[in-house]
Homo-oligomer: A and B are copies of this chain.
Amino acid sequence: MIIMKSGATKEQIATVIKEIENYGLRADVSQGDFRTIIGLIGDERKIPFDHFAILPGVKEARMVETPYKLISHEYAKLAGESERRIIKVGDIEIGGDELVFIAGPCAVESKQQLFKIAEGVKKAGAHMLRGGIFKPRSSVHSFQGLGAAGEDEATEALEWFREAGDRFELPVVTEIRGESQVDLVARYVDIIQIGARNMYDQDLLVKVARTGKPILYKRHFGAGIEEFLSFAEYMVAENNKDIILCERGILPLGKGKSYTRYTLDLAAVPVLQKETYLPVIVDPSHAAGRRDLIFSLSCASVAVGACGLIIEVHHNPIEALVDSQQQITPDELKKIITACQDIHKAIGNK
């Protein structure tokens, strides 16, 4: 990390960046109100910090050993940035004072289904619309989303999705699963989701980050906090700081029957907030895998400090093509939103 003096000139900054690149690393430049911080991206052990420390305009040059630093509070603070990042999507603020509810079907099944659910979640008080077009599935023999049928079908589904979002004034978020979907999806949606199974897919992370779109980034079910944040760093290293972290459950433990699909790690929410300035939301639907727990887990997520929830909603859950047993109705969503907002007040927010 190179901290420039408060009066450092553009030329001095440019010289430092060029030097960094000479050593095979990249530079992340944060222009604060008072000074400029240059984060190093790459193997810092190659850098002679003593040499950098005496370049004109440099105040301090030192190694940062943690695998995630661009997303740390320390880095934000040095750069004079806010302690928590608020990501604006239309009128919605993720990470701000108000809770954000993202809701919609697991998979987009038809235009009619999508519009019906979009209308339902809007009325229930949701702020954004979710819906899967490219579905990651454990089995090649399962429904893979409308996007699997070909580019035309994917485009059509994305057009419905965009239209539904516009009609009901709900910014839209959908998952991409492979590099070849990035350009297409980025044209239609407000937020791109990277799902749990792709958390470690660093080439995909880089490509999605370069679209400049906000990213809803889910923790893999086998990932520790350190790995989750280290991979999030890949995206911020592409100069995209609009990363929303999402806890959605880790592998269940113990012999015998599993009563939930995954173990929701709610302590991860405050831990992530202490380690990084990125906003944190929770997906109770995939963690539970059963609708009778969604209310309780949603309340707990907000109580533990999440700034939002992403919940699967279907107007007729038992007919849903994917994950039917975990989707709730718009009416149930409404009850959840009401209880969560009360809890949000009780813990002293807003």
Contact = CB atoms under 8 A, between A and B. Distances in A.
Interface stretch (A12-20, A40-48, A54-62): A40-48
Interface stretch (A29-37, A84-92, A93-101, A299-307): A299-307
Contacts of A274: 292
B233 A139 contact: yes
A68 to B, nearest CB: 8
B292 A303 contact: no
Tallying the copies of this chain within the complex gives 4
Interface of A: 24, 40-44, 67-69, 136-143, 149, 177-181, 197-198, 200-204, 207, 220-227, 230-231, 233-234, 237, 250-261, 263-267, 269-271, 274-275, 287-288, 292-293, 296-297, 299-305, 339, 342-343, 345-348
A41 B141 contact: yes
A202 B141 CA distance: 13
Nearest to A342: B346
A182 to B, nearest CB: 10
A41 B140 CA distance: 7
Given A41-B141, A140-B234, A270-B297, 20 more contacts: A40-B141, A41-B140, A43-B142, A138-B227, A138-B255, A141-B233, A178-B179, A198-B200, A201-B204, A222-B254, A223-B254, A225-B257, A263-B267, A264-B266, A264-B267, A270-B292, A296-B303, A303-B343, A343-B343, A343-B346
